[in-house]
Amino acid sequence: MKKIKVAVIYYSMSGTNYQLAKWAGEGAEAVGAEVRVLKVPELAPQSVIDGNPGWKAHVTATQHVPEASIDDLDWADAIIFSTPTRFGMMASQMKQFLDLTGGLWAKGKTVNKVVSAMTSAQNAHGGQEATLLSLYTIMYHWGAIVVAPGYTDPVIFGAGGNPYGTSVSVDQDGNMVEPVEPAVKYQARRTVEIAKRINQIVD
């Protein structure tokens, strides 16, 4: 069986979703996947970023992370997205990136991609589930196969019990409230395992 190729694509302002993406990459690699951890392009003006010390520090610290491209989506068998919640929806940076996938979709190249997603918010009921569902709506249009964690492993409950994808609350100091690392890695492993089955059938 071929090695599953996984693109972990994230947007992060303060580092939370970057950390989720790194854990997802580690989880996917642990079950033999070839992984690319990639960020979507920033849309905010530099003047705004410069006015927020935490945001500016994160942008500087992640300059080495490659930006995601449409070619990365074409390359991947499976894609794991991670985006903060913005008023119950994905961040505009992530939406902009996904809005540019029409050409790939029109060629049928998003069909049977295996996808999963994660998110974060400052409040446990700050729209985390709605954010994941809004992202998955795009995936249904893609013809992709959504792999949610559901309640398939006890680690889901330890991370707050979101069946749609790992989500984490972040306190005022930027610290993750729930211990989600095991759930993130499990979700990534599950995504890879389902991708293996799908690709075996397709091949």
Torsional class of 110: left (φ above 0), alpha (ψ -120 to 50), beta (otherwise) = alpha
Q: Residue type at 181? A: E
Q: In the structure encoding, which two tokens stand for residue 62, read together?
A: 């992640």
Domain extent, residue 73, equals: 5-202
Return d(Cα 21, Cα 39) in angstroms, integer: 9
This prediction has a pTM of: 0.95
Residue 47: pLDDT over 80: yes
Task: Give me the percent of the chain exceeding a pLDDT of 90.
Answer: 83
For the ranges 22-36, 42-56, 92-106, 136-150, which has the lowest average pLDDT? 42-56
Q: Of 114 and 203, which is predicted with more confidence?
A: 114
Would you state the pLDDT for residue 2?
Answer: 80
Would you state the pLDDT for residue 41?
Answer: 95
Number of structural domains the chain divides into: 1
CATH number reported for the structural domain that contains residue 155 in this entry = 3.40.50.360
Tell me the average pLDDT of the chain: 94
126 pLDDT band, cuts 50/70/90, is: confident
Return the HEC string of the chain.
Answer: CCCCEEEEEECCCCCHHHHHHHHHHHHHHHCCCEEEEEECCCCCCHHHHHCCHHHHHHHHHCCCCCECCHHHHHHCCEEEEEEEEECCEECHHHHHHHHCCHHHHHCCCCCCCEEEEEEEECCCCCCHHHHHHHHHHHHHHHCCEECCCCCCCCHHHHCCCCCCCCEEEECCCCCECCCCHHHHHHHHHHHHHHHHHHHHHHC
Return d(Cα 143, Cα 140) in angstroms, integer: 5
Q: Of 133 and 170, which is predicted with more confidence?
A: 133
Over residues 16-40, the mean pLDDT reads: 97
Over residues 58-84, the mean pLDDT reads: 96
Q: Of 172 and 56, which is predicted with more confidence?
A: 56
Residue 116: pLDDT over 70: yes
Asked if 124 contacts 159 with a C-beta cutoff of 8 angstroms, the reply is: no
